Structure 1
Amino acid sequence: MLPWLSENPAVQPHDAHTTSLAKLVRDDVLAGILNGSLTPGQRINEPDVAARLNVSRVPVREALRELESSGVVISRKHSGVFVRQLGMVEVRDLYQLRALLDGFAGRTAAQLPKKERDGLVKFLVNSTSSMKDALKSSDANRYYAENLRFHWAIVEAAGNLQMAEIYRGIVQKLHISRLKNLSGNSGRKASIAEHQTIVRSLRQGDFAQTELLMARHVNDAFVRLEETSQLETTP
């Protein structure tokens, strides 16, 4: 699950006066997509969703329209609504955008007051340590989740809500495609080393270097992903 979402949004308490049925449906369907119970290319059955959540099909349709506008699902005429599938060109484009946003977030976070920056650095050091533990135990899913927490902490620290919203959408698209950079221990070792360099730069308050390192780190991650994908499709 992504760091900005609960494990099961559909069962979390909601205020009926402030939360619409469509939002409850949206959160439930999104949770299913992100946890893998709804897979890329799978058709989302509106009657089943409505029956399971005990709502009419109107909020289900509204929720699916909202998810389509965010690029998570796609509607096909006379066929229904399906979980999005991304090709490598779109994935490349998303990584390029993510590199820009990560760079901006790193530059901004490195300019925080020392006390705030030190708190962020402490969190990132612990996060990197957790990634090392996941690497030792060959727990790819734990590594991936911790990697997302590392980046999201920097994005949140930047304090730009509009940027964070765009970033969240990009990462969710990459996540639902299951195109994770799980390229084996060598790739993860390289990524951890890059994280450690980023943390050192942040600690020193070197905003220009932190921006460069963050952008380069995301671009290098795509290169590793692309190389892995090519290997998987080579006969």
Structure 2
Amino acid sequence: MTDSELSFDVPALVSLSRQIEMHLERLIVQGALKSGQRLSEPDIAKRFRTSRSPVREALRRLEQVGLVVIEPRRGASVKAPNERDISDMLAIREALEGMAARLAAARAEPDDIARLEACVGDPSGADDQSNPALVDFHEALAQAAHNPALQSMLRGSLNLFRMVRAIPADHHARKARAAEEHAAVVAAIVARDPDAAEAAARRHILTMRTQLLGADGSLSGGSLVGDEPTAAGVVFDAAADADAILTRTANGARRPVRGGAPGNGRDDPAE
């Protein structure tokens, strides 16, 4: 990989450790990094041309939000939730999203409804994580409920929920059906029908559970664990992935930043 491929513009007010965290989070929730896959600090530091310190900080934050596990003498790896974790999470989200839809039918403001309608998108075009509407719908629904406590509870299971949606089980068909079910929830909210909104939201999560877990509670459409869960290293293409980790500052400014060479004991100036 050339120096030009490893160079990329970064937001002036975002530290390098935060950029690494954002980059790894995106790869995890989109399924590019599988559950159980090892995350090599030296490799990540080399790819970002920095020391291990910002990498270690990024991994600790990812551990705090439930995406990474750090074990003594083994290092970091992507968290590998088991089938019970997934089943329990979906049971909780079924109840909470049903409540969110019920509240949204009564409390959603015009801006909330407009956001939900925009999130539904075109069911025929639903495809994996490339459709941001399918990623944002559940968050928009929580916001439309206008209940901070409920939003906080839903946010607590969001990362695992995003990981589950990346399980490779006929993505196109599953996402297309999800978009149709989202549309049913929104239609009930627009009609100000709390009972129908709650029923549609619960039905959506139940459908997801049926698609992912068989009658015996085992994963039926694929695995969260990668083919080589103990493989060290993370594949980066800094040129291709740069846009995904960039955010503009308030004034739109960007500046190029290069980290220190790995192992030189010097952190990136952005730190």
> Fold match, TM over 0.5?
yes
Residues 161 and 52 (structure 1 numbering): CA distance in 2 closer, same or farther, change over 3 Å?
farther
Equivalent of 2:106 in 107, 111, 119: 111
Matched, 1:39 2:34: yes
Residue aligned with 1:230, SS:
coil
Task: Report the counterpart of residue 13 of structure 1 in structure 2.
Answer: 11
RMSD of aligned Cα (Å): 3.2
Say whether the 8 Å CA contact 2:38–2:76 is kept in structure 1. Answer: yes
The structure with more helix, counted as a fraction of residues: 1
Q: Which amino acid aligns with 1:45?
A: S
Residues 66 and 213 (structure 1 numbering): CA distance in 2 closer, same or farther, change over 3 Å?
same
Range with bigger deviation, 35-44 or 73-82: 35-44
Deviations 1:32-71 (A, max 9, x none): 3234443322211112222333443233222212211221
Task: Report the counterpart of residue 80 of structure 1 in structure 2.
Answer: 75
Say whether the 8 Å CA contact 1:40–1:85 is kept in structure 2. Answer: yes
Matched, 1:132 2:124: yes
Residues 64 and 58 (structure 1 numbering): CA distance in 2 closer, same or farther, change over 3 Å?
same
Matched, 1:157 2:130: no
Gaps of 5+ in 2: 1-7, 224-271
Q: Which amino acid aligns with 2:198?
A: E
Say whether the 8 Å CA contact 2:134–2:175 is kept in structure 1. Answer: no
Residue aligned with 1:179, SS:
coil
Task: Report the counterpart of residue 48 of structure 1 in structure 2.
Answer: 43
Deviations 1:10-41 (A, max 9, x none): 955141xxx55543332232233234443322
Q: Which amino acid aligns with 1:206?
A: D
Deviations 1:126-160 (A, max 9, x none): 544412333xxxx45546x4333322221222344
Hey, what's the Cα distance between the residues in 1 that align with 2:51 and 2:185? 49
Aligned residue runs from structure 1 range 56-71, under 5 A: 56-71=51-66
Q: How many residues align?
A: 212
Task: Report the counterpart of residue 3 of structure 1 in structure 2.
Answer: none
Aligned residue runs from structure 1 range 82-97, under 5 A: 82-97=77-92
Residues 122 and 29 (structure 1 numbering): CA distance in 2 closer, same or farther, change over 3 Å?
closer
Larger radius of gyration: 2
Q: Which amino acid aligns with 2:113?
A: V
Residue aligned with 1:40, SS:
coil
Hey, what's the Cα distance between the residues in 2 that align with 1:54 and 1:218? 42
Deviations 1:56-92 (A, max 9, x none): 3233222212211221011222111101122211111
Q: Which amino acid aligns with 2:87?
A: R
Say whether the 8 Å CA contact 1:26–1:64 is kept in structure 2. Answer: yes
Matched, 1:102 2:97: yes
Task: Report the counterpart of residue 267 of structure 2 in structure 1.
Answer: none
Matched, 1:121 2:113: yes
**1:190 CA displacement:** 5.1
Hey, what's the Cα distance between the residues in 1 that align with 2:153 and 2:222? 30
Gaps of 5+ in 1: 1-9
Alignment identity in percent?
27
Residues 54 and 165 (structure 1 numbering): CA distance in 2 closer, same or farther, change over 3 Å?
farther
TM-score (norm 1): 0.72
Task: Report the counterpart of residue 198 of structure 2 in structure 1.
Answer: 211
Say whether the 8 Å CA contact 1:155–1:164 is kept in structure 2. Answer: yes
Say whether the 8 Å CA contact 1:72–1:83 is kept in structure 2. Answer: yes
Task: Report the counterpart of residue 220 of structure 2 in structure 1.
Answer: 230
